[in-house]
Amino acid sequence: MWAMGAIMAELFTLRPLFPGSSEADEIYKICSVIGSPTESSWAEGLELASTINYLFPVQRGGVNLSALIPSASKDAVNLIASLCSWDPCKRPTASEALQHPFFQSCYYVAPSLRPKSNTIARTPPSAVLNGRRAVDQKCAKKYPGSLPNSKPAGNVTSFSKVHASLNPDGAKLTSLLELKHKWWCQMEKEKEQLPLGNGETERSLMELKVR
């Protein structure tokens, strides 16, 4: 979830939030942005650091994320700050992040996912299901010896339910994928509201979408 917050900030600014050149410099950059950990923010982390004789940089108060990410909304900044918390227990889970106000107005379809005028219309799911039932009935008449364990098409279990039953982490994976989709759509929505700069900025946005 920490990585989600850092990547979210990078998508807004097109540059890393913590551009460290080494492990030590990375810790210093993090402390410079969100402040050094304290007993109230991450007591367990300070204990772990003391066991290996590591000292975090001298107490730094951090900076206002709104100043670093001026193009982000208040809800976006709040979500990034909660995702990039020192204490992992204080970071929201994927399911909790989906309930954040940042995603509540996410009824947006990214331009790359919008149907084009010349796109062939998809067959409605109901028509597909009815067609499958007709084929099954025709096959049943032609081959009366049907399998004893066969079930009607209307009782087909969804893939997500099967995956969740076979894999204990299936529900978590589904939440992460849903979070990624809604997150991307919301950020695309906010980006469309920003004025594009020169051709280099447009190329950077295109490279970001491809990546």
Q: Is the Cα dihedral 189, 192, 198, 203 positive or negative?
A: positive
For residue 157, the SS3 value is: coil
Mean pLDDT of 58-74: 89
Residue whose structure tokens are 């940089």? 57
Crossing angle of helices 170-192/2-13, nearest 10°? 20
Q: Give the start-to-end residue ranges of the domains of the chain.
A: 2-108+157-210
Residues ≥6 apart with Cβ < 8 Å to 82: 5, 90, 91, 92, 100
Q: What is the pLDDT of residues 83-139, one digit of tens each?
A: 999 999 999 999 899 889 998 876 555 666 666 665 455 555 555 556 556 655 655
Q: Which two tokens stand for residue 140?
A: 């049943």
- Length of the chain as a residue count: 211
Crossing angle of helices 74-83/170-192, nearest 10°? 140
For residue 37, the SS3 value is: coil
Q: What is the pLDDT of residues 189-208, one digit of tens each?
A: 766 665 555 555 445 445 54
The residue type at 148:
P
Q: Is the Cα dihedral 38, 58, 64, 208 positive or negative?
A: negative
Q: Taking 80 as the threshold, does the pLDDT of residue 185 lie above it?
A: no
The whole-number pLDDT of residue 179 equals 75
With bands split at pLDDT 50, 70 and 90, how would you rate the model's confidence at 143? Answer: very low
The whole-number pLDDT of residue 106 equals 65
46/115 Cα distance (integer angstroms): 52
Residue whose structure tokens are 């004789």? 53
Q: Taking 50 as the threshold, does the pLDDT of residue 2 lie above it?
A: yes
- End-to-end C-alpha distance for the chain, whole angstroms: 20
Question: 198 φ, ψ to 5°?
Answer: -80, -175
Lowest mean pLDDT among 1-10, 30-39, 95-104, 173-182: 173-182
Whether the Cβ atoms of residue 87 and residue 73 lie closer than 8 Å to each other = no
78/74 Cα distance (integer angstroms): 6
Mean pLDDT of 54-68: 87
Residues ≥6 apart with Cβ < 8 Å to 140: 146
Tell which CATH classification among 3.20.20.450, 1.10.510.10, 1.10.1840.10, 3.40.50.300 matches the domain 2-108+157-210. 1.10.510.10
The whole-number pLDDT of residue 61 equals 80
Which range of 31-45, 100-114, 141-155, 158-172 scores highest in mean pLDDT? It is 31-45
Q: What is the pLDDT of residues 21-50, one digit of tens each?
A: 999 999 999 999 999 999 999 999 999 999
